[in-house]
Structure 1
Amino acid sequence: MFRTACRNSTRKGLAAASFAILIGAGNVLAQEDCQPASKFSTIEPGVLKIAAPDMPPFFTFKDGVMGGFEGLFFTKFAKDNCLTPEVTVLPLGGIVESVRNGLVDVGGAGLNPTPERGEVVGLTHPIYYNVGVFVGKDPDAELEKYAGKTLGTVTGFVWNKELETWGKANLKVYDTADAAFADVKSGRLPTMLLGGINAYYRLSLVPDSGLSAVEAAPHPAVATFNSKGRTNVVHTKGNPELTAALNTAIATMRKDGTLADILKQMNLPADLLIPAADAGE
């Protein structure tokens, strides 16, 4: 049995960015005789409400089936806890607000566990590293090289506010990584800043594009350039049982090799997976 719904609206600039809601059970069905791995409450009993952007290799949703790193994680987490997943696909910038407002239980994908986010949503232990990289034709690692130039980024990234404060580049914020990357490929945008996993995955799909990526060098104005970015699962705040359940699932999947297998399926380097000792487990 699948739950499906769809809502489409017209995009009119960043402020009126549309999103489509797609709700589906995937291929996981809650069974009456299922024994959950953890005990916790969700917004709707028996259902795990998920919000994530359609942004491979992090998350995809097609024909009621989740894919990508977080998609495969959520699929197993729901199955192990006897829950039917309902998926809301929307732009990255709307994920935290959707979780904050109690519309969904969990959110992804590729989100960093920042103190600011921790004030409004629950945060799990980090799962994998994701550093900021510049993407373009012969991009430079030094931020100062982009002073006076147009630099693209995507709404929702933690470095956006820091770049605005730095203020030396003409920052162009896109609603989706697809749109930004398309402009870089076409030459309409000289350089964009993107998470490493996303960048290297996209570059692998267009090997003859002439584009490359370089990891952002440390810079005093952008704290996120000074240490390896980490990703986590954001979820409803004030639900410690859900936090514990997600952390247990992450630790278990790290230990039994599931997370490493997912990275392999995504054609991503195994060393992106954060070791347990560095994850605070």
Structure 2
Amino acid sequence: MTITPRLLASSAVLALSAGFLSACGSDAESTVASDCEPIAEVETVEEGVLTAAVAEFPPYIGAQGGKPTGIDGELLTEIAEQLCLELDLQVTSFPAITSALESGRADLSAGSWTINEERQEKFEVSDPVYLSLLSVVSADGWSTVDELEGKRVGTTTGYLWVDDVQQILGADALRLYESEQAVYDDLKAGRLDAGLFTEGAVAYYMDSDGNPEGLENEVIEADDRIEMTVNEPATGVLIRKGATDLLDAVNTVVAEMQTSGTLEELLTGAGISSESVVLPE
């Protein structure tokens, strides 16, 4: 699995990229009912179509048969349905998503995008959808940084927590990997005592292979020495700049799914703790 941009400290992942690939064309016959009444009238890149650019990042977002899957996939489907628009899912790379939004080739993107100032300057960004939490995976159920001292600990390079954890454990004590999958593989093989992950991603790995090693996935306890455990990062939907009518509609749908408990069901159903749930203000 490639490193994702949602929690990365490096701005390199926002570099523009070619290769905007379509997984589901909009030329097919519309499936929107003729008597559908939208919750709002919005302007989109293509009339009657909601163009969503996404990259595979289960359990948050994926594609199967041209349709979105995962937590954010359900959100995109609901947005399109409530706006009476055909959903055109464009599956591509993370850098290509930002390029497509900036150039006006896509309307929006969902998939655990962390809300930060840089993205709020470049795009319209929805209200928080859910939190993206840091978790510790180990055979012993550790949930604090102090429990990791003197242990073999691994994590993925580039994440926001890396510098803080290195300050606590020591730069040489934290092994850095190019992907969360590589960390998980070494943890299962016994080459690590613990791994630091985005909670949802490792929950997906553990569910996919059945977790035969009996590893435990615990959200790390708040620690003033690790910034993101105190100010937990929220995720949002990225929308092309200036599309404020679409932004308002997305926020309406997000709030409805939060209030109804639908988002909580999707999160916990994917093995993600209820601590990640956000309720509308």
Fold agreement, TM-score > 0.5: yes
Task: Tell me if the contact between 1:143 and 1:216 (Cα under 8 Å) persists in the aligned partners.
Answer: no
1:89-136 Cα distance to aligned partner (Å, 9 max, x none)? 344565445434434222221122122321222211112232111335
Q: Distance in 1 between matches of 2:166 and 2:115?
A: 20
Aligned partner of residue 231 in structure 1, secondary structure: strand
**CA–CA separation in structure 1 for the residues paired with 2:105 and 2:166:** 29
Q: Please tell me the residue identity of whatever aligns with 1:106.
A: L
Deviations 1:137-185 (CA, angstroms, capped at 9, x unpaired): 5567328957997733276x554687799992453333xx445534543
Residue correspondences, number: 260
- The structure-2 alpha-carbon separation of the partners of 1:255 and 1:55, relative to structure 1 and needing over 3 Å to count, comes to same
Q: Report deviation, 1:66.
A: 1.6
Higher relative contact order (CA 8 A, sep 6+): 2
Distance change (3 Å), C-alpha of 1:185 and 1:91: farther
Higher alpha-carbon deviation: 28-37 or 127-136: 28-37
Give the corresponding residue for 2:176: 171
Counterpart in 2 of 1:7?
Answer: none
- Alignment-mate amino acid for residue 185 of structure 1: K
TM-score w.r.t. length of structure 2: 0.73
Shift of the 140–80 alpha-carbon distance from structure 1 to 2, 3 Å rule, reads: closer
The CA distance in 2 between the partners of 1:120 and 1:64, in whole Å, is 28
Q: 1:71 to 1:251 in 2, by over 3 A?
A: same
Contact 1:154 1:194 in 2 (8 A): no
Q: In the alignment, which residue of structure 2 is the partner of 1:29?
A: 31
Q: 1: CA distance between counterparts of 2:119 and 2:225?
A: 20
Q: Secondary structure at the match of 1:117?
A: helix
Q: Over residues 49-107 of structure 1, what are the superposed CA-to-partner deviations in whole Å (9 max), with x where a residue is unaligned? A: 22223222211211122211100110111121122222233445654454344342222
Contact 2:148 2:194 in 1 (8 A): no
TM alignment of 1:120-139, pairs within 5 A: 120-138=122-140
1:236 to 240, 243, 250: 240
**What is aligned with 1:245?**
249
1:112 and 1:230 in contact (8 A); partners too:
yes
Q: 2:270 aligns with which of 256, 266, 269?
A: 266
Which residue identity lines up with residue 112 of structure 1 in the other structure?
A: T
Match of 2:154 among 151, 156, 163: 151
Answering whether residue 53 of structure 2 is matched by residue 51 of structure 1, we say: yes
Report sequence identity in percent. 23
Quote the Cα distance in structure 1 between the aligned partners of 2:190 and 2:220. 21
Per-residue deviation, residues 22-62 of structure 1 (Å, max 9, x unmatched): 42269973345432211222222222222223222211211
Distance in 2, Cα, partners of 1:150 & 1:19: 36
Letter in structure 2 aligned against 1:50: A
**Aligned match for 2:203, one of 192, 200, 203:** 200
For structure 2, list consecutive stretches of 5 or more residues without a partner in the other structure.
1-12
Q: Indicate how the Cα distance of structure 1 residues 147 and 117 shifts in structure 2: closer, same or farther if over 3 A, else same.
A: farther
Range with bigger deviation, 101-110 or 266-275: 266-275
Q: Are residues 46 and 215 of structure 1, via their aligned partners in 2, closer, same or farther at CA, if it must alter by over 3 Å? A: same
Residue 9 of structure 2 corresponds to which residue in structure 1? none
Query: Structure 2 vs 1, CA of residues 103 and 56 (structure 1 numbering), >3 Å: closer, same or farther?
Result: same
Q: Is the Cα contact below 8 Å between 1:25 and 1:84 reproduced in 2?
A: no
Contact 1:50 1:105 in 2 (8 A): yes
Gaps of 5+ in 1: 1-13
